[in-house]
Structure 1
């Protein structure tokens, strides 16, 4: 019980450890270029900020690096208009894609639960039909992928891992059934973490209540 209520970071490290071990095992099999993992991928773009018509009363979610703080992208702060998207290199990324930061801060990653567009330096990656989006997220979050990306970073005005170079990274692509087995395992751990967080919150509230009542 002590571990349950005092060390809720353990499941996170456990997930990463499991994923890294699985990737190490999968790397012994056949590998495929990253370009074969998606139907469409590309960076976004920022509409000219001085043009009010590109932003005023905008309804299209416009994703920046600060929005990529959780596994699932369920909300965002800024929006642009249809005209703003048309007048920039931004494009509408369908839901259940991977959003990945490849410029400046490299490696921030989320799965978007609704269509979005992004600024430059953030990739939208629409998985191929034989790629589970949850597996793609785990792959791109793994130590293996991070190390491979670090090898191809270009130094310039800002550090960038260009898609044309990421495309050549050889990655494991197990069957869809194997992908689902992997993601089911990590999901069950994440659910356990969520349960533990709720329990920790409840126990802390109960502790505060008991402390207050002791001195009444």
Structure 2
């Protein structure tokens, strides 16, 4: 990663930590995650054909770990298309914010959606702040994560925090994309220079 992008990423993490440390120490109402998020088992969204395609115009097949998009499927049934959600890998505790239709690879994922008066992006950012992880190969969401207590500011404050952190993530992604384009341009120009 280019140093500038690393600086953005580092600043983004620091910003998230400072915001949520301050919120954690505040006197906002606190509630267990089970009272803030609904979870859905993904059984009806599991892809049948694991011979994934490389066509990004098709339906993505997701996992919550680092791979995220495993490939694409042309299956037209069992597609999650209910709107934004968080996918939570029950074994690794990795999370991803998803704002598009998809299918999943396995039942080890929980699909999380907000209950009323909860901003899903705020919850995603807070879960990211918690840096959940485990070395144990077991299901964690129901046994551990649902009982985690989260400070819950009013919806307007949640929306402000979510917008700020989302805007910063967009800036990082824009810089990363620009970096990729500039690297491609540099390779092209160097190749053309020595022909």
- The TM-score, its normalising length taken from structure 2, stands at 0.72
Secondary structure of the residue that 1:191 maps to in structure 2? helix
Instruction: Tell me, yes or no, if structure 1 residue 128 matches structure 2 residue 153.
Output: no
Which residue of the partner structure matches residue 140 of structure 1? 127
Which residue of the partner structure matches residue 31 of structure 1? 30
Q: Return 5+ residue gaps in structure 2 as ranges.
A: 50-57
CA offset digits 1:147-189 (Å, max 9, x no partner): xx75xx9x5xx32203253222110111111112112212222
Pairing partner for 2:11 from 5, 9, 14: 14
Secondary structure of the residue that 1:182 maps to in structure 2? helix
TM-superposed CA distance for 1:191, in Å, is 2.8
CA gap of 1:36–1:93, structure 2 versus 1, over 3 A, is: farther
CA gap of 1:6–1:165, structure 2 versus 1, over 3 A, is: closer
**Divergent runs of 4+, >6 A:** none
CA offset digits 1:97-142 (Å, max 9, x no partner): 1111112x22232324226566322111111121112111111111
Paired residues, what number? 185
* Larger gyration radius, structure 1 or structure 2: 1
Which residue of the partner structure matches residue 53 of structure 2? none
- The TM-score, its normalising length taken from structure 1, stands at 0.66
Task: State the superposition RMSD in angstroms.
Answer: 3.7
Instruction: Tell me, yes or no, if structure 1 residue 188 matches structure 2 residue 167.
Output: yes
Alignment of 1:81-92 (within 5 A): none
Secondary structure of the residue that 1:21 maps to in structure 2? helix
Q: Return 5+ residue gaps in structure 1 as ranges.
A: 86-90
CA gap of 1:80–1:162, structure 2 versus 1, over 3 A, is: farther
